[in-house]
Amino acid sequence: MPSKYMIHTKTVTNRFQPVSKSGIIAWEEGCLKCAVCVKKRCVYNVYDKRGIDSRHMIESIDNLCMNCYRCVQNCPKELIHKSLNPEFNAMGDSHWSPPIIVRLWNQSQTGKIPVSGAGYPGPFSGPGFDSMWTDMSEIVRPTRDGIHGREYISTAVDMGKTPEHLMFNGSDTLEGEVPSIIDIPLPIILKMPSFGTISPNTIKGWAMGARRLGTLIALPMEKIDSALEDMGGCLMPLVLPRGTSIGNIPKNAKIIEIPWTEEWQGVVEDIKGYIPNLFVSVRIPMAEGMEEKALSLARGGISIIHLEGSSMSRFMDDNTRNLKDGIRLVHMKLVEENIRDGVTLLASGGLAMAEHVAKAIICGADTVFVDFPILIALECRMCRRCTKGLSCPVEIDTASPGWVASRVVNLIGAWHNQLIEVMGAMGIRDARRLRGEVGRAMFFEDMDRAAFESMGQVEEGCELE
């Protein structure tokens, strides 16, 4: 058993005021100037914390209010109101939704898993990963108690080709060469997002974060400068075939990635000729024909395949098909062709919450890439102003590498604990055994039809209620 993997988190303050869902509106007109104003009686001392004279009736949109509505409901002249903050709902898009963004901010600030009271308030199901539930064990199957440290749950995964079996010679020593693997302590690789106001400091912070987590960060070759020289071990350079010079690959890098090309064999040969022990991952777009591409790579001896979906967690060529289904297709194809254990399947594309990691693995990925969450960890609001050449409202490029690293470590620390929660509930102690465990998951399309399909007959003259 490896030594216990822990991610040390500590609160890292925000640099900017977060956008909150609702604000408080208070009118001065008609105020009775009560001796004990309801504002003074706030259980959370919100009005005092704001540092403004509570006798003044002013509008305030901030995230201190805990929504207990006591001031709203007790003001004798009904002068205090809450209203929705339009800026909140305008954040992000349908995939990177405001609640997801806020939750990522909180985790990056505190390093703690999101906890709340009063049950689950969200929709019944939704697209993609929201249409599956994970299993838990009960009575006849034990769970594992990982989160409170009573049992060790390993999230470590390997990348590379594991041997199908071991051979020993007469003197009980291992026969032949054991292929080397890269092992990382959690099934998450950081990846530089495709947009953002990103400075060399930001990249350095991400790399420092990856090093502290013991994982890798994938980033374009041209972004690797001298500041990252000593961090080659945690970099995963994305190399363009025959574009950048192979000679620029950092000496201590263990792995690089190239995009799919029909001539991949030649490219890989060139690279291996230069650095023989380098792992090469080949990235294929999640799109029509991906199963055949994955199969040809696996049969051709490529041990790491990266399946890349869109930033909205969909297929690259079809917005109606979800990442989860793409992972399942490729995984099953490799299983059917008896070659699944010969390759490591990496998946990327819009993974936005900790549960997406667990679910992507259940669908058949070994490890996943996390990209935009490491930008949102830095208070990004997904406003996309940067893509239009406009300034960043939270000045991400000015953040120091240390702050960036700590925010990312907090976020991934919280995700790691949530992965352990999901695995513990299932009774699974090893992330490698979670891969492809669809039998321990429940899918909306199957469950809903089984339960409700028969309930569609409406005769003439019936009343529904």
Partner 1 sequence: MSNPNVFQFPEAVRTRSRFRNPIGKFRVNRTGDCIACGKCVEICPYGVHVKRRGQVFVENNYLCLGTGCPEPCYKACPVQALSVRRNPVFDTLGDFRWTNELLAGTWYMAEFGERPLAGLEYKVGNSGGGFDKLRLIFKGTRSCLEDITDDDIDVSLELNRRDDNAHRIRIEIPVYGGGMSYGSVSVTTMVSRARAAAALGTFSCTGEGGYPDELKPYDDHMITQVATGLFGVKEETIQRVKIVEFKYAQGAKPGLGGHLLGDKVTPGVARMREAVVGYPLFSPFPFHSVYSVEDHKKHVDWIKAINPKALVSVKVSTPTDVDMVAVGSYYAGAHIIHLDGSYGGTGAAPDIAKKNIAMPIEYAVPKVHRFLQEEGVRDKMTVIASGGIRTPHDVAKIIALGADGVCIGTADLVALECVRCQNCESGRGCARGIATTDPELSELMNIEWGTQRIINMYLAWLRELIRILKKLGMKSIKELVGRTDCLIHLDYM
State how far the Cα of 318 lies from the Cα of 153, in Å rounded to an integer.
37
Q: Does 97 bind partner 1 (CB under 8 A)?
A: no
Find the binding residues for partner 1 in span 323-382 (CB under 8 A): 353-355, 358-359
| 64 or 275: CB nearest partner 1 | 64
State how far the Cα of 420 lies from the Cα of 82, in Å rounded to an integer.
38
| 167 or 455: CB nearest partner 1 | 455
Stretch that binds partner 1, among 63-71, 170-178, 289-297, 383-391 (CB under 8 A): 63-71
- Do 304 and 159 touch, CB atoms closer than 8 A? yes
Residue 364 burial class via C-beta count within 10 angstroms: exposed 0-12, middle 13-18, buried 19 and up: buried
Q: Does 86 bind partner 1 (CB under 8 A)?
A: no
State how far the Cα of 206 lies from the Cα of 406, in Å rounded to an integer.
9
Stretch that binds partner 1, among 309-317, 336-344, 396-404, 456-464 (CB under 8 A): 456-464
| 60 or 125: CB nearest partner 1 | 125
| 234 or 354: CB nearest partner 1 | 354
> How many other C-beta atoms lie within 10 A of the C-beta of residue 31?
17
Find the binding residues for partner 1 in span 98-157 (CB under 8 A): 103, 113-125, 133-143, 145, 147-148, 150
| 119 or 170: CB nearest partner 1 | 119
DSSP 216-256: -EEEEGGG--GGGGGGGGGEEEE--TTSS-GGGS-TT--EE
State how far the Cα of 252 lies from the Cα of 81, in Å rounded to an integer.
59
Least Å distance, CB 10 to partner 1, is: 19
Find the binding residues for partner 1 in span 196-255 (CB under 8 A): none
Q: Are strands 217-220 and 441-443 parallel, antiparallel or unpaired?
A: unpaired
CA distances from 282 to 39, 130, 279, 308, 442 (A): 60, 28, 10, 10, 31
Least Å distance, CB 264 to partner 1, is: 37
Q: Does 60 bind partner 1 (CB under 8 A)?
A: no
Least Å distance, CB 422 to partner 1, is: 7
Q: Does 29 bind partner 1 (CB under 8 A)?
A: no
The size of the chain, in residues, is 465
Among 68, 90, 240, 390, binds partner 1 (CB under 8 A): 68
State how far the Cα of 26 lies from the Cα of 13, in Å rounded to an integer.
29
Q: Does 44 bind partner 1 (CB under 8 A)?
A: yes
Least Å distance, CB 162 to partner 1, is: 29
**254: Cβ contacts below 8 Å, ≥ 6 apart:** 182, 233, 278, 279
Q: Does 167 bind partner 1 (CB under 8 A)?
A: no
| 67 or 398: CB nearest partner 1 | 67
Least Å distance, CB 128 to partner 1, is: 13
Q: Does 35 bind partner 1 (CB under 8 A)?
A: no
- Type of residue found at 447: M
CA distances from 272 to 209, 265, 335 (A): 29, 10, 28
| 142 or 243: CB nearest partner 1 | 142
Q: Does 461 bind partner 1 (CB under 8 A)?
A: yes
Find the binding residues for partner 1 in span 178-207 (CB under 8 A): none
Least Å distance, CB 345 to partner 1, is: 22
Binding track, positions 406-425, relative to partner 1; x by CB under 8 A: ------------x--xx-xx
- The sign of the torsion formed by the CA atoms of 305, 311, 316, 318 equals positive
Least Å distance, CB 447 to partner 1, is: 5
